[in-house]
Structure 1
Amino acid sequence: MPLPWRTARLVGREDQTATARTLVFDAPGWPGHLAGQHLDVRLTADDGYQAARSYSLAAPADGDRVELGVQPVSGGEVSPYLADDLRIGASVEVRGPLGNWFVWRPGQDEPVLLVAGGSGVVPLMAMVRAHRQAASASPFQLVHSVRGEPDVWYREELGRPGPALDVRFLYTRQAPSGGTRAAGRLMAADLEPVLERLTPAGTVHVCGPTRFVEAAADLLTSVGQDPATIRTERFG
């Protein structure tokens, strides 16, 4: 049976970068979700024209509240409107949750490696938050690849890693002064140290633009990671 569309009201918007936004909606009757899942958002114009797009959920289930991460796409029909034009208190339709494979469940105790390219960090952030919420002791590692420091999502929150969470930023175009790694694309050398903490039962979640995800998955397998342990989510 198809999932129903639900009315959701925008109750919060927060800047993540100069263009990216976090949106918080109140969606009465929301059934809950797992970290890593996504939903569809549908807009309806005055003339009846409808457009729907999928967006990752950025936080664990919290009653009727759902949090999304939106990176506007130039010329897009939905993302620029959601990011900057949808007014607080206005409503859209949402449908979900969707996706049951690219998820992290609080009962999991194996080590996890998260690899994000740009806005691909959004569903991985939901996993990080769910991991913290569950007070899990399982080792979590996040490798976040971005163009430069202004492109880092969740800067303050990810700047507070815990004993079970290690966060590493990789800069592809402009590295901060004083860093030990020059700017450049993700390389095998970036992944080998973090893979040492994974056990054979550990899992890797990779999310980002299609080219990034494919390159990251190839690098992971090239340094010996079992393809069966790699889960990917891509866009664009």
Structure 2
Amino acid sequence: MERLTPVEMRAPGRWQIGTVTEIVTETPRVKSFRIALPMWMEHLPGQHYDVRLTAPDGYRAQRSYSIASSPLDTGSIELTIDRLDDGEVSPYFHDVVEVGDQVELRGPFAAYFVWRGESPALLVGGGSGVVPLMAMLRHQRRTMPELTLRLVYSVRHADDVIYARELRGDGETLLTYTREAPPGWSGHTGRVDAALIAQAGVDPVHGVAFVCGSNPFVESATGLLLDAGFAAARIRTERFGPSGASG
């Protein structure tokens, strides 16, 4: 009988059963799930996990979700899931999963869209595209607060802001509302534009940029970053949508 080493048992490609220990409602359509893992591995901010559901008849649905938690949260991960009405996995998490339930998952995966703390960074997120960026921000706060990280975050309405309790108004986070701003709002409104990118104040020569959101959002933001002086090699993008990472 083959015996697996501890490292092999924790290999990212191996499925494992995690236990949901906490559920936080972020917005009317977004929830965060803290999941304890028996074979936990330290991840890099920006990586994701695959989640798999198996129906009684054997049918399986699988989706990938970005990790929202810092790698310092040993033993567990946080997945923030946006409910898609026509999805196969996200409605189950929103309508069925409770604290104490078990879910099947494997990871962490991805090597390109990750931040290793090697340089200052400008994070540009649209909607639920903020999730992997939040992992970077949370980790920077705990490990290298002296390093510049700025988040430019675009949402439609005030109740669409994920992680609202954690976002700071001291220049770390620049919010913009594209449809309707909350009463009394004096900040930016409308789509992310050149002025908002410039306001973030990240040096395009020495910094790196991460962009996550829908295809149109990523295309527009990437163009703005190029115009701002970021070299293409210093811009990393991740896209989501009907055929993307979540559903």
Per the normalisation by structure 1, the TM-score is 0.91
| Identity among equivalent pairs (%) | 44
Residues in 2 aligned to 1:142 and 1:73: alpha-carbon distance in whole angstroms: 25
2:149 to 130, 140, 149: 140
Contact 1:23/1:68, CA 8 A, preserved across alignment = yes
Residues in 2 aligned to 1:11 and 1:86: alpha-carbon distance in whole angstroms: 11
Amino acid at match of 2:120: P
1:189 partnered with 2:195: yes
Q: Secondary structure at the match of 2:99?
A: coil
Task: Count the aligned residue pairs.
Answer: 230
Can you give the 5+ residue segments of structure 2 that lack an aligned partner in the other structure? 1-10, 242-247
Contact 2:204/2:228, CA 8 A, preserved across alignment = no
Residues in 1 aligned to 2:62 and 2:120: alpha-carbon distance in whole angstroms: 35
- Superposition map of 1:30-109 within 5 A: 30-61=40-71, 62-106=73-117, 108=118
Residue 19 of structure 1: how far off its partner (Å): 1.3
1:158 partnered with 2:162: no
Residue 182 of structure 1: how far off its partner (Å): 5.9
Residue 192 of structure 1: how far off its partner (Å): 2.2
1:22 partnered with 2:32: yes
Describe the superposition over 1:9-40 as per-residue Cα deviations: whole angstroms up to 9, x where unpaired: 11111000011000011110122201110010
Residues in 2 aligned to 1:182 and 1:234: alpha-carbon distance in whole angstroms: 24
2:214 to 209, 218, 227: 209
Residue 181 of structure 1: how far off its partner (Å): 4.6
1:131 to 140, 149, 161: 140
Residue 199 of structure 1: how far off its partner (Å): 4.8
Can you give the 5+ residue segments of structure 1 that lack an aligned partner in the other structure? none
Describe the superposition over 1:175-224 as per-residue Cα deviations: whole angstroms up to 9, x where unpaired: 23333356322222221222x43151210011111211111101211233
Change (3 A) 1:169 1:160: closer
Q: 4+ residue runs of structure 1 moved beyond 4 angstroms?
A: none
2:205 to 200, 204, 211: 200
Per the normalisation by structure 2, the TM-score is 0.88
Q: Secondary structure at the match of 1:97?
A: strand
Describe the superposition over 1:115-141 as per-residue Cα deviations: whole angstroms up to 9, x where unpaired: 010001111110011001103311110
Residue 234 of structure 1: how far off its partner (Å): 0.8
Change (3 A) 1:166 1:5: same
Residues in 1 aligned to 2:160 and 2:188: alpha-carbon distance in whole angstroms: 17
User: RMSD in angstroms over aligned alpha carbons?
Assistant: 1.7
Amino acid at match of 1:210: N
The more displaced of 58-67 and 196-205 is 196-205
Contact 1:111/1:199, CA 8 A, preserved across alignment = no
Residues in 1 aligned to 2:188 and 2:234: alpha-carbon distance in whole angstroms: 29
**1:234 aligns to what?**
239
Amino acid at match of 2:115: W
